[in-house]
Structure 1
Amino acid sequence: MSLEENKAVVYRFIEAYNDRRVDLFDDLVTPDYIDHAHQQQGLESFKRLFDMAFKAFPDWHENIEDIIAEGDKVWVLVKATGTHTGEWNFSGVTLSPTGEEVTMMMVFIWRIAGGKLAEGWEVDDELDFFKQLGVIGYTEKGKRIFQET
């Protein structure tokens, strides 16, 4: 596949994600997809992850800010926004809705095989994410050093 075709797969995936069309993942993700960020494998576990996220952040939206393709990989910078209005389960912990709005910059790296996402990595600032949710905060010393505006 060409670099532009690989990027088109990612565009279609993000669009399906934003439209809550998890059913389209069958056409966009390999059955044995490897998710390095969440340490899981398989399309069905990948779909469950998104279903869980949609319940916790029903208005979550990802906007592609930049996209780069090289070989069989596509790098994507997205700006994600959402409001935590539902229960969220992560790492065995359940977080009740906070009502907080969050904004997050994320980088995804996807390996494309046969016109589908086959493997993925994610880089984001989870500490800032949890801070925006009000789950964590600065210590008194941190507040002095990192004065918020």
Structure 2
Amino acid sequence: MSPEENKALVRRFIDAYNTRNLDLFDDLVAPDYIDHTHRQEGREPFKTLFSLAFEGFPDWHEHIEDMIAEGDRVWVCVRATGTHSGEWHVSGVSLPPTGRRVVMRMVFIWCIKDGRLAEGWEVDSEVNFLKTIGVIEYTEIGKRIFPEDAAA
């Protein structure tokens, strides 16, 4: 596939994600998909990850800000927003809703083979995300070093 076709595939994937159309994942994601970030393999575990995220953040939305494609790779930068208004299950822990709104930038790198997402990596500010929903807090020293972040 050409770089433009690969970019179109990624746009379709993000649109399917944003519209909660996980059935489209069967067309867009390889059955043996490798998720390097979450250390899992297979399309079904990948779909489960999204289902759990939608429970905790039902209004989660990703807006594409930039996309670069070369060869079989696509890099995409998104601005993600969502409200922690549902139970969120992560690493065997269930976090009750906080009502807090999350805004973050994320970069995804996908390898495309045979017209489907075959491998993926995610880079984001997970620490800020977890701080926003109250999972972690700054220490007293951290509050002095980053007063504007600690107050948020």
- Both structures adopt the same fold (TM-score exceeding 0.5): yes
Q: Provide the TM-score with structure 2 as the length reference.
A: 0.95
Cα deviation, residue 134, structure 1: 1.7
**For 1:135-146, what aligned pairs fall within 5 Å after superposition?**
135-146=135-146
Long gaps (5+) in structure 2: none
In 1, distance between residues paired with 2:14 and 2:125?
A: 20
Residues 10-30 of structure 1 show CA distances to partners (whole Å, capped at 9, x for unaligned) of 000000000000000011000
TM-score, normalized by length of structure 1? 0.97
Task: Show the counterpart of 1:92.
Answer: 92
Question: Which residue identity does 2:41 align to in structure 1?
Answer: Q
Q: Name the counterpart of 1:27.
A: 27
Stretches of 4+ aligned residues off by more than 4 angstroms: none
Q: What is the rounded CA distance, in whole Å, between the counterparts of 2:12 and 2:139 in structure 1? A: 42
Q: Let me know the Cα RMSD of the aligned residues.
A: 0.9
Counterpart mapping for 1:37-52 below 5 A: 37-52=37-52
| Offset, 1:136 | 1.4
The residue aligned with 1:9 is 9
Q: Distance in 1 between matches of 2:49 and 2:115?
A: 22
Aligned to 1:63: 63
- Alpha-carbon distance between aligned partners in 1 of 2:45 and 2:137, rounded to the nearest angstrom: 32
Task: Give the partner amino acid of 2:112.
Answer: I
Query: CA offsets, 1:75-113, max 9 Å, x none?
Result: 000110000111111112111111110011100000001
Q: How far apart are residue 38 of structure 1 and its match?
A: 0.7
Shift of 1:142: 1.2
For 1:44 and 1:145, how far apart are their aligned partners in 2?
43
Superposed CA deviations along residues 50-86 of structure 1, whole A, max 9, x for unmatched, are: 1111111000000000000011000000110000111
The Cα of 1:145 is off from its aligned counterpart by 1.1
Give the whole-Å Cα distance in 2 for the aligned partners of 1:122 and 1:63.
15
Matched to 1:30, the amino acid is: A
Matched residue of 2:147: which SS? coil
Structure 1: runs of 5 or more not aligned: none
Shift, 1:31, TM fit: 0.5
SS where residue 102 of structure 1 aligns? strand
AA in 2 matched with 1:90: V
Q: Percent identity?
A: 69
Structure 1 residue 32 displacement after superposition: 0.5
1:118 lines up with 2:88 in the alignment:
no
